[in-house]
Structure 1
Amino acid sequence: MLKIIILIFLGVNLFASDIFELYRTKGISAVEKELEKSLKDIGAWEKYLENKNVDYGFYETKKYIIVAQKNNKKISLYEKDKDDFKKVSTDSIIVGEKEGDKLVEGDKKTPEGAYELTQKRTGLDQFYGPFALVTAYPDNFDKSLNRKGHGIWIHGMPLNGDRELFTQGCIALNNDKLEALEKNIDYKQAVLITTNEDFKKATKSDIALILSTIYKWKDAWKYSKIDEYLSYYSKDFKRADRSDINTFSSQKRAVFAKNEDKTINLFNLDISPYPNSLGKKMYKVLMDEEYFSPSVRFIGKKELFIEIVNNKVQILTED
């Protein structure tokens, strides 16, 4: 991330000689302050993204993007190749028997969204083919909407030679294609994006807006600017436990009132388009967080599900 900060800084705000002079006359804290300012500048991020392909998202840790389209029953694998995405394969699939987004257990629908792959399962009933790749459905956004269900996999066809016309909600493809897909990826570095319609590509303007907003949000969080901080949350905000924005606001006001000195580091950002049946322009943000204060020490993952409304980022769910 430091490399990114410096590249943004050099590309937009100051030349190397300016950084040198700033450091020489005012020290490293002044340089750090200017770097932090650049991270909150949407123009800086637009410049940084200028020659990067973000059609399938912005990724610092993920390498493989799998896009499954339910309407045309196709699955495509893309591999992140430096600043671009390389298409590796496109194959036919079968999906849930019922149309629409998954809502409840047993509705026979394939969910829509962006999901991590959590494990490879073998030794299954022959119905599922040679193995299955397990998705993270339901994620925290699904849980915030009280959506139910489990066991959504990418799996193969029955080993006895039968071919199904539909699944119970999973994504299935021919066994040789499943094996080729798994061979071409590290599932721990993969994201599955499922959509009901043709995939809508991300835009550089959206990604730049999200990145600059994340650092503005972090700044408000770090310096306990409670009203600014809460302005980044949707009135429809809900956590996975379904607690709402009023509960969240009350909790945060109590914490921010302590006005503790905090160190917050966010890095390894992955931003995925998040197709959905709600008509929202959504993205999922997953990143590493380091949070240190006199009362709390946390090192782990931070996950945001955000909506872009009127060119403004609004957080719908957070974990």
Structure 2
Amino acid sequence: MARTPARQAAPAASHDGEAEALLIEVYRLIGASRSREALAKAEHLASRYPNFQLAQLVYGDLLAGRTRPLRRLGDIADGMPAAMVAQLDELRQESQLRLKALRERPPAHTIPSQFLTLAPRSRHAIAVDASRSRLYLFENTANGLQLVADYYISLGKSGIEKSVEGDLRTPLGVYYITGNLNKATLKDFYGAGALPINYPNPLDLSRGKTGGGIWLHGTPRDQFSRAPLTTDGCVVLANPALERILRTVEPRSTPVVIASHLQWVAPLAVQPESRAFEGVLDAWRAAKSSGDMDRLLAFYTPDFKSYGKSLAEWTPQLAAEAVRAEGREIRLKDLSLLRWNDKADTMVVTFGEVLDGARTGAVKRQYWLRQGGQWKIFFEGVIGDAPVPARRCAPHVLPGCLRARHGCRVGPGRPRAAGQARHLGGRHRGPARCGKGAAHGRELSAVRARQAL
């Protein structure tokens, strides 16, 4: 007889997950026909979180259920105004998504398939499953990624797959948090604060996508949570959940994967892909160390772009870096690999590039595209400085040595040139805008002050 695979349990309720845990307990009591206990628990929930509309609705239903049978959640009289009916439908959708996410947990000891390798300096990671309106928060431990919390979220009014400015959609892809905006600099609309991400990233730009200002942010004080599809493209969480994330994640090094559906796999399942790509990356490193430009340029796509520069315009910089090496080995440290599969196979690669014997180097991010069975670079940029740690590794010559398990860490640094890091997860060059599409004065100052890689 086949055994049912174990599922990851919902993390223990803390302040940031208390409201949802209480709501689910109310549902459990209702399902067990323990209506009096459910009513008492719902009353406590509604009193503790008076701005939690779904909780108020459930409490109202339980009160009404004392005098008449209930047909469904939000069982109101027929003939109510259309606006109220629409709002009730949204609350029902929120209820269904919360229940589904709690009933259908990710399999135990699994991770989203996009996370092939995560460097030690990336202490946390975030993944969003749009189909479940759920955000998953991971800690990057010595034993790999561990799921530490997950939260209900709201996404764009028009759904997902953002492509143009103002389309009210949430983007899909691999992104990085670029800053941490203090709520003191923001309007009440954004709640406890905001975490901008680097949409549009280089892959988005190569596909002609426009828009910007996609944030993870909270809700106004009078609103605990929003309906599943009610934002202008941002990812919106309840303030207690966002506060936990604000205290936890680090700008510049925290990846955010936003997918239509997350595929959960065992960590061992991604190792073959990781090792295979490490071999390709090591071949690129060896070509650059050798100073053979023909061999090096073979790793780049003809339509390569970096900050507006074509491959021909970027080649002199590559040549200058090869000359500076003067025959010394290039070592790649603190490697992160995040894979994105949609209509193309893409790898987002971040590493510290340090010459053998040097004390510092550059933190680089590359975007690779699989073309005809071969990996090619279509974007490359410097996003910071990589100091050599006290404990130094041997030169990374073999593919296996590229892995981050050596314990080498790359310290945070700043972009080499103003505006260089905009699409890598760093400083904005234009007006900072949230998903609403409105420019913000003090918010922009905060972005410029904090968003450096």
* Higher deviation after alignment, 174-183 or 142-151: 142-151
Give the length in aligned residue pairs: 261
2:334 aligned residue (263, 268, 290): 268
Note the residue ranges of structure 2 that are not aligned, 5 or more in a row.
Answer: 1-109, 382-453
Provide closer, same or farther for how the CA distance between residues 205 and 313 of structure 1 changes in structure 2, counting only shifts above 3 A.
farther
Per-residue Cα deviation, 1:194-236 (whole angstroms, up to 9, x for no partner) = 1123347572222112212212101111212233222222344
CA contact (8 A) 1:223 1:259 kept: no
Aligned to 2:106: none
Q: Which piece of structure 1 moves more, 252-261 or 150-159?
A: 252-261
SS in 1 for 2:370: strand
Letter aligned with residue 90 of structure 1: D
**Distance of 2:240 and 2:246 partners within structure 1:** 10
1:221 aligns with 2:309: no
Of structures 1 and 2, the one with the larger relative CO (CA 8 A, separation 6+) is: 1
Correspondence 1:102 to 2:168? no
The answer as to whether partners of 1:209 and 1:313 remain within 8 angstroms in 2 is no
Distance 1:54 1:209, change over 3 A: farther
Structure 1 residue aligned with 2:149:
89
Deviation at 1:54, TM superposition (A): 9.0
Pairing partner for 2:369 from 304, 307, 310: 307
Q: How does 1:64-143 map to 2 (within 5 A)?
A: 64-121=124-181, 122-123=183-184, 124-143=186-205
Normalising by structure 2, we get a TM-score of 0.51
SS state of the match for residue 119, structure 1?
Answer: coil
Distance change in 2, residues 1:257/1:111 (3 Å): closer
1:234 pairs with 2:301: yes
Gap change, CA 1:307 and 1:86, over 3 Å in 2: same
Distance 1:230 1:303, change over 3 A: same
Q: What SS does the aligned partner of 1:222 have?
A: helix
> Quick check: 169-178 or 189-198, which moved more?
189-198
Query: Which range is displaced more, 155-164 or 216-225?
Result: 155-164
Code of the residue aligned with 1:57 in structure 2: it is L
2:210 is aligned to 148
Alpha-carbon displacement from aligned partner over 1:281-304 (angstroms, at most 9, x marks no partner): 212111122369xxxx98322111
What whole-Å deviation, never above 9, does each CA across 1:129-164 have from its counterpart, x for those lacking one?
Answer: 111112122333334444332221111122122754
* Counterpart for residue 26 of structure 1: none
Residue 254 of structure 2: aligned partner: 190
* 5+ long unaligned stretches in structure 1: 1-51
SS at match of 1:204: helix
**Structure 1 residues 206 and 255: alpha-carbon distance in aligned structure 2, compared to 1, 3 A threshold:** same
Letter of the structure 1 residue corresponding to residue 135 of structure 2: I
Write the distance in 1 (CA, Å) between the matches of 2:318 and 2:179: 39
Q: TM-score under structure 1 normalisation?
A: 0.70
- 2:217–2:236 contact (8 Å) kept in structure 1: yes
RMSD between aligned alpha carbons?
3.2
Counterpart for residue 350 of structure 2 = 286
Instruction: After TM superposition, give the deviation of residue 254 of structure 1 in Å.
Output: 6.8
CA distance in structure 2 between the aligned counterparts of 1:54 and 1:225, rounded to whole angstroms: 38
CA contact (8 A) 1:94 1:171 kept: yes
Q: Distance in 1 between matches of 2:364 and 2:323?
A: 22
Aligned equivalents of 2:146 and 2:240: distance in 1? 21
Structure label with greater radius of gyration: 2
Structure 1 window deviating more from structure 2 (221-230 vs 179-188): it is 179-188
Q: Distance in 2 between matches of 1:161 and 1:53?
A: 32
CA distance in 2, matches of 1:63, 1:193: 15
Following the alignment from structure 1 to structure 2, what is the Cα–Cα distance between the partners of residues 253 and 187? Answer: 28
Q: Which amino acid aligns with 1:59?
A: L
Aligned to 2:122: 62
Higher strand share: 1
- The one-letter code sitting in structure 2 at the alignment partner of 1:203 is V
Q: 1:299 to 1:162 in 2, by over 3 A?
A: same
Q: Quick one: percent identity of the two aligned structures?
A: 23
